[in-house]
Each structure stands twice: as C-alpha cells, then as structure tokens.
A = this chain, B = another copy of it.
Amino acid sequence: MTPAGQRVLDVASRLFYSDGINAVGVALVAETAGVTKKTLYDCFGSKRKLVVDYLRHRHEIWWSHLEQRLSGAVPPRTLTLVEAYLTHPDLHVNRGCAFLNAAAELPADHPGLDVIREHKKAVRTRLAELVAEDAPAVDSESVAEHIFLLIEGAIAHIGIDDHDNRAQQARQLAAALLNSGHGDR
C-alpha cells in the first residue's frame, strides 16, 4: 500500500467511526488525507471497497492489540479480553463498536457485512478458548456465550448512556461467572 493510500485508510477509519459511514463522503476523506479523489479511487476503486478495507483494518489493529495484551497476561485471561474489548488506546472508544455501528447502516448486500460477521465470530471463538483455559471444569462454552452477550451489551451502550462504568460492570460480572463454578444454566 502506497503512503497516500495508507493516509486515506487512516483518515477513513477515523471519520467513518466517529461520524458514520453514510454521513462521510469520499471528497471529505480525500481532502482530509491531503489527497485527490483521483488518488483515492486509484487506490481503492470504490467507496464500498474502502469501507471493506476500513473494517478489515480496524479488525486487524484491534486483534493484534488483543494478542499482544494476552501474551503478557496472567490468568484469568478471559478478563484480559473483556478489558481489551471495552477499552483501547484511541480505538473502539466513545462511539461504541465500529462493527455494530457499521452493521446498523450498511445495506443488506454490502460486502462489509461479511467482515463484520467474521470479526464477531473470531471474538466468540477466542473468548471460548480463554474461558476453557480459565474455567475448564464448568460448561465453558455456555459461559463464553454468556460473557459474549455481556460485552456486546456493554459495548453497544458506550456513547449512548451517560454512566461509563458499564465496562467495569461487565468485567465484574464476567469475573463472577468464571468463579461461580457453574454457567448459570
């Protein structure tokens, strides 16, 4: 990827997340990135593909951040994932989940929806692995799905509700689930 293309992707990531995909035009993205529309279209071809690349880029950034935190974490690493999911250095914050937001405004045939589904599936899978590590005796699959609903509910309300302790609340509930010895089934 060329330097101009990288700048476009960075700017698009920021603007699409903060203002919404449909509300941000390609002209604004190009201008903010200090690039002509011609260059933007030479690099990405269409806005749809730029959106797909935005979602992929966002996933890769967060995923590498997650694995980095996990590699130096002590058990229960499930809570490390919960923390990484709900707080991130200048990513994933103040406007909730970029993937849920995108899913809310993309048309049904948009290829970005596949990226969103893959992202959520990857999170669920990784979460299930970590729960199996931390609580092997219990029905870890059920607990993982329980925690997944908790963190999705929490992240969906970042930027909507006033009280921002929902992240910590989800973390505490997840911790209690890991220690409860059963899955609340």
Q: Are B173 and A146 in contact (CB under 8 A)?
A: yes
Copies in the complex: 2
Neighbour of A149 across the interface among B116, B149, B160, CB < 8 A: B149
Q: Which A15-58 residues have a C-beta within 8 angstroms of B?
A: 19-20, 22-23
For residue A101, which residues in chain B have a CB less than 8 angstroms away from its CB?
A: 104-105
Q: Is A177's CB within 8 Å of the partner chain B?
A: yes
A151 at the interface (CB under 8 A from B): yes
Whether the pair B161, A157 counts as a contact (CB closer than 8 A) is: no
Residues 93-113 of A contacting B (Cβ, < 8 Å)? 96, 100-107, 113
Residue of B nearest to A160 (CB): B103
Known: A104-B100, A120-B157, A161-B120. A177 touches B169 (CB 8 A): no
In the bound complex, how far is the Cα of B32 from the Cα of A23, in angstroms? Answer: 23
Interface residues of A in 151-177 (CB under 8 A from B): 151-154, 156-157, 159-162, 166, 169-170, 172-173, 176-177
User: Taking the complex as formed, is A6 at the interface, i.e. its CB lies under 8 A from any CB of chain B?
Assistant: no
A117 within 8 A of B: yes
Contact A160 B107 (CB under 8 A): no
Q: Contact check: which of B152, B176, B184 meets A173 at CB < 8 Å?
A: B184
A residues whose Cβ falls under 8 Å from a Cβ of B: 19-20, 22-23, 96, 100-107, 113, 116-117, 120, 145-146, 148-154, 156-157, 159-162, 166, 169-170, 172-173, 176-177, 180, 184-185
**10 extra A-B contacts, CB within 8 A, seeds A146-B150, A150-B153, A153-B154:** A23-B107, A101-B104, A104-B104, A105-B105, A113-B160, A149-B149, A149-B150, A152-B153, A152-B156, A172-B185
